[in-house]
């Protein structure tokens, strides 16, 4: 779907604002704070409150050259990256699904995936609070879709998706841990899979997500382990999140292409 410029701009600005909030979530939840307390954003170095003029997504980072106005501490590039990522996800959702509940569904899902992926990459943790909120939001969106369609089917599909995703990755976790004689992946990854299943609500897309995440994770993991550097602990959450996003927006096309290739063999 080709977006009108004003619609694309509205989606982008909304996403940038959401991305700014996601940065707060990503920083605070792992350290035991909430997204609403303290009320104002603060510098992660000196904890000085950030002024409104210094809290404009992307623009303030560029004008301040990535540094705190108060203490001159460096602000990581992850902050504008998250803002830009959320903006791009919102534009993509509206472009793919139009101005519909499905677009809201895609944007919410994408933003939760972004927050969880960055959190896991930074802390090697997938906070239950964030995964739980994502799960609840997904069920609420499914319920809204069911009300509009006059059927409980969307909620049932979301529940089945969560069960399939959590069960499959749970089995992989147990089998992998037994084979490796150490924990193959964290329980947080299984919970993330359950959240993903709620949004995808399709067992085929769930299996595609798990397969894609395994392939990408294996390739990246092998590359990092072969690199001449200190051994790194590689979180699985970002690969799950990336694969889930691909499945949401392009999963049906990928599955159809795969089926065509199989039928020609």
Residues 160 and 252 in one domain: yes
Number of domains making up the chain: 2
Torsion of CA 13, 18, 24, 25, to 10 degrees: -160
Please identify, among 67, 99, 131, the residue that sits at the C-terminal boundary of a domain.
99
Quote the pLDDT of residue 148.
Answer: 94
Residues 205 and 112 in one domain: yes
Residues 90 and 159 in one domain: no
pLDDT in tens, 186-242: 899 999 999 999 999 999 999 999 999 999 988 887 877 777 666 677 899 999 999
Quote the pLDDT of residue 255.
Answer: 92
| 86, 19 contact by CB (below 8 A) | yes
CA 53/CA 18 separation, integer angstroms: 17
pTM beyond 0.85, yes or no: yes
Q: What angle do CA 43, 49, 52 make, to 5 degrees?
A: 105
Average of per-residue pLDDT values in the chain: 92
Q: Which domain holds residue 84?
A: 1-99
Residues 87 and 11 in one domain: yes
Cα dihedral across residues 12, 14, 15, 17: positive or negative = positive
Residues 95 and 146 in one domain: no
Could you list the mean pLDDT of each consecutive 10-residue stretch along the chain, which spans 265 residues? 85 96 94 82 88 90 91 92 97 94 97 97 94 97 96 96 96 86 86 97 96 91 72 86 96 91 81
Residues 6+ apart with CB under 8 A from 203: 160, 161, 164
Residues 138 and 234 in one domain: yes
Helix (H, G, I), strand (E, B) or coil at 42: strand
């Amino acid at each position: 779907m080709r977006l009108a410029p004003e619609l694309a701009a509205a989606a982008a600005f909304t996403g940038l604002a959401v991305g700014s909030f996601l940065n707060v979530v990503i920083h605070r939840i792992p350290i035991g704070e909430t997204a609403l307390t303290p009320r104002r954003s603060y510098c992660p170095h000196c904890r000085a409150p950030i002024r409104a003029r210094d809290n404009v997504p992307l623009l303030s980072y560029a004008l301040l050259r990535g540094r705190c106005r108060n203490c001159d501490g460096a602000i990581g590039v992850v902050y504008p990256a998250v803002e830009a990522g959320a903006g791009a996800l919102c534009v993509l959702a509206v472009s793919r699904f139009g101005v519909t509940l499905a677009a809201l569904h895609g944007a919410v899902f994408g933003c939760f995936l972004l927050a969880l992926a960055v959190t896991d990459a930074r802390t090697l943790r997938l906070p239950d609070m964030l995964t739980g909120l994502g799960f609840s939001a997904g069920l609420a969106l499914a319920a809204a879709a069911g009300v509009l369609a006059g059927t409980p089917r969307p909620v049932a599909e979301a529940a089945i998706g969560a069960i399939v995703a959590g069960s499959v990755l749970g089995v992989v976790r147990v089998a992998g841990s037994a084979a490796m004689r150490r924990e193959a992946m964290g329980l947080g990854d299984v919970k993330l899979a359950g959240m993903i299943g709620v949004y995808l609500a399709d067992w085929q897309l769930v299996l595609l997500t798990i397969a894609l995440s395994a392939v990408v994770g294996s390739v990246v993991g092998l590359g990092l382990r072969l690199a001449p550097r200190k051994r790194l602990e590689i979180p699985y959450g970002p690969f799950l999140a990336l694969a889930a996003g691909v499945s949401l927006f392009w999963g049906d096309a990928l599955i159809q292409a795969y089926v065509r290739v199989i039928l020609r063999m």
